[in-house]
Amino acid sequence: MIKVFGIKNCDTMKKAFTWLEENGVAYEFHDYKKAGVAAAHLADWNARAGWEKLLNRRGLMWKKLTDEERADVDAAKALQLMAQYPSLIKRPVLDSGEQLLVGFSPETYAEELK
């Protein structure tokens, strides 16, 4: 079963949910703003996709961080920030067990989820 991680009220998440439902892709949703995201997931996702791809530097949460928090971000600091502020994780994160898709692109979903 595909697991979709994200925040329920996010517009990008809504687009991903719509695409998955319209294309008959079964999934289990994990809201990491409510349920949190285990450090084990972040370590695994970092190994599979890289922290640079996971860290959402365009969102409101990134802008709310202090200059000190945003300075000198490396893998360890990025993972710590994403664990502390799950909204910093790019959405959605779709994990099929074999592949990990970060962010939503209808073209990528169509190609990877057939």
* 10 counts as catalytic: yes
CA distances from 77 to 51, 63, 98 (A): 10, 16, 26
CA distances from 63 to 9, 49, 58, 70, 111 (A): 19, 23, 8, 9, 33
Beta strands in 10-66 (DSSP E): 27-31
Q: Which of 4, 5, 6, 10 is catalytic?
A: 10
Number of neighbouring beta carbons within 10 Å of residue 57:
14
Query: Which of the residues are catalytic?
Result: 10
